[in-house]
């Protein structure tokens, strides 16, 4: 009786053993998609009549790949045949250009002349050549402790393993705790600033690995630790003493991402200054007061401030010019009284207007006597305490008067005062 095709499946056969003798190995052992693979059969015994190959977990007709008659070499495809399979005379199965869908359990069933059957089992895992994955983010700019980071590793492969990288290295422990069971989703509630950086995911299997391009995460925070510096020294909450007519620069610093916007205030009134520093070019009593820097972060919507008190130094405060009387009238005498003149005074000079020689009213010499200058009108008198008497005022005496002092140590100071002469009547 000649048997072909599926008729082998209908025979009443006796099982000798189940997988005890027959074994199946793969060549190559770890095939990748596109490889030509052979399921090599070992341990066949006796004179065999036929082979049946199944691609599935059971000897079901639906899983039948092919039947092969040993004596004739005839091969009959089954329902599970993909057009790539061929049975060898020794019972091995060739599969050309395997695909991931060829992965799974394979069963070889043999028949001998006594219609006894044996089966052997093998398993094939076809590994993909993995394409580069992509990291998808809910946002690449988040606010610290407020926002949640959610990253997903997008890959066409559903079987590959996934691992993550942070700045080229392993994920911090806190981030690893946010991985989903399959490793494809990374979530972090209340993101921290130290978790800002470059994130990548990598898909891998036994024969292939592919890493994504980095996605860069920015974490906004602050401002915090707002401080005011003078010459790199923190002065927040302090009183800064400044000599008269000298300069002062105050810097506002803070820890913030992004760099905050700065607003300066003087004695509670906002100044037109949007910079991180403020400069006082010539210190006078008018610049004394409280300077406040306010740092505002437009991303976190938070702000912080710091203040300092700026005062003239003791020596500078004492050195002041006060007209007596304060509002002199035409025809009166006025004394431009100097308070707190230098105790180590060497010489001084008064000028009508800027401190230049043509404008000099008078000078006091080291001997204590004074001499008239080019601008002296005969009505001006100097005193040892640097004060100046102007007699019988007229309206032309209105204007600026300048005092210049020189100490024994060679320190020069210049003070100015505006005199306003009121007309009679």
Q: Are 197 and 175 in contact (CB under 8 A)?
A: no
- Residue in 109, 222, 203, 120 with CA at minimum distance from that of residue 157: 203
Residues ≥6 apart with Cβ < 8 Å to 130:
155, 157, 160, 203, 204, 205, 208, 209, 210
Predicted local confidence at residue 318, as pLDDT: 59
Per-residue pLDDT of the chain (425 residues; tens, 9 = 90+): 344 444 444 344 444 444 448 999 999 999 999 999 999 999 998 889 999 999 999 999 999 999 999 999 999 999 999 999 999 999 999 999 999 899 999 999 999 988 889 999 999 999 989 999 999 999 999 999 999 999 999 999 888 999 999 999 988 888 888 999 999 999 999 999 999 999 999 999 989 999 999 999 999 999 999 999 998 788 888 899 888 778 999 999 999 999 999 999 999 999 988 899 999 988 877 888 999 999 999 999 999 999 999 998 865 455 789 999 999 999 999 999 988 777 778 999 999 999 898 898 888 887 778 899 999 999 999 998 899 999 999 999 999 999 999 988 888 989 999 999 999 87
With vertex at residue 202, the alpha carbon angle to CA 196 and CA 207, rounded to the nearest 5 degrees, is 160
Structure tokens at 395: 């309206």
State if pTM tops 0.75.
no
C-alpha span between 76 and 160 (Å, rounded): 35
Predicted local confidence at residue 314, as pLDDT: 64
Pairing of strands 360-364, 345-352: antiparallel
Structure tokens at 170: 């392993």
Residue 222 half-sphere exposure toward CB, CA atoms < 13 A: 19
For 55, phi and psi rounded to 5 degrees?
-110, 85
CA distances to 91, 158, 369, 381 from 386, rounded to whole Å, are 123, 93, 11, 10
Neighbours of 352 (CB within 10 A): 21
Percentages helix, strand, coil for the chain (3-state, rounded to 5) are 10, 50, 45
Structure tokens at 188: 């972090």
Predicted local confidence at residue 205, as pLDDT: 92
Q: Are 77 and 66 in contact (CB under 8 A)?
A: yes
Predicted local confidence at residue 2, as pLDDT: 41
C-alpha span between 75 and 172 (Å, rounded): 58
- Residue in 287, 298, 219, 220 with CA at minimum distance from that of residue 263: 298
Structure tokens at 344: 């180590």
Residue 159 half-sphere exposure toward CB, CA atoms < 13 A: 13
CA distances to 6, 41, 247, 313 from 241, rounded to whole Å, are 106, 96, 11, 5
Predicted local confidence at residue 370, as pLDDT: 87
Residues ≥6 apart with Cβ < 8 Å to 318:
339, 340, 341
Structure tokens at 60: 């079901």
């Amino acid at each position: 009786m000649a048997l072909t095709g599926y008729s082998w499946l209908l025979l009443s056969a006796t099982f000798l053993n189940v997988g005890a003798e027959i074994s199946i190995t793969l060549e190559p052992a770890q095939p990748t998609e596109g490889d030509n693979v052979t399921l090599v059969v070992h341990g066949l015994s006796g004179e065999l009549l036929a082979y049946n190959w199944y691609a599935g977990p059971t000897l079901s007709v639906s899983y039948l790949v092919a039947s092969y008659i040993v004596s004739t070499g005839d091969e009959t495809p089954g329902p599970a045949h993909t057009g790539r399979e061929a049975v060898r005379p020794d019972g091995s199965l060739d599969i050309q250009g395997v695909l991931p869908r060829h992965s799974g359990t394979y069963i070889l069933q043999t028949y001998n002349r006594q219609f006894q059957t044996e089966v052997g089992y093998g398993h094939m895992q076809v590994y993909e050549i993995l394409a580069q994955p992509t990291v998808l983010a809910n946002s690449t700019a988040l606010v610290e402790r407020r926002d949640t980071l959610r990253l997903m590793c997008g890959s066409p492969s559903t079987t590959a393993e996934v691992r993550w990288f942070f700045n080229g290295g392993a994920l911090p422990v806190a981030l690893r705790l946010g991985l989903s069971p399959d490793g494809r989703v990374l979530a972090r509630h209340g993101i921290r600033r130290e978790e800002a950086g470059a994130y990548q995911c990598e898909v891998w299997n036994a024969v292939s690995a592919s890493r994504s391009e980095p996605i860069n995460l920015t974490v906004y925070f602050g401002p915090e630790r707002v401080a005011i510096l003078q010459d790199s020294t923190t002065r927040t909450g302090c009183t800064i003493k400044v000599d008269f007519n000298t300069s002062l620069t105050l810097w506002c610093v803070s820890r913030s991402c992004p760099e905050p916007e700065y607003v300066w205030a003087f004695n509670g009134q906002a100044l037109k200054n949007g910079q991180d520093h403020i400069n006082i070019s010539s210190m006078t009593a008018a610049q004394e007061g409280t300077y406040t820097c306010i740092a505002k972060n437009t991303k976190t919507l938070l702000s912080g401030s710091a203040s300092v008190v700026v005062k003239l130094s003791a020596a500078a405060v004492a050195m002041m010019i006060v007209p007596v009387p304060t509002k002199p009238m035409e025809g009166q005498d006025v004394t431009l009284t100097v308070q707190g003149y230098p105790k180590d005074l060497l010489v001084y000079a008064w000028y009508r207007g800027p401190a230049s020689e043509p404008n000099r009213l008078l000078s006091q010499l080291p001997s204590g006597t004074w001499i008239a200058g080019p601008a002296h009108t005969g009505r001006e008198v100097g005193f040892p305490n640097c004060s100046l008497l102007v007699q019988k005022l007229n309206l032309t005496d209105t204007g600026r008067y300048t005092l210049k002092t020189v100490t024994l140590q060679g320190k020069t100071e210049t003070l100015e005062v505006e005199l306003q002469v009121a007309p009679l009547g």
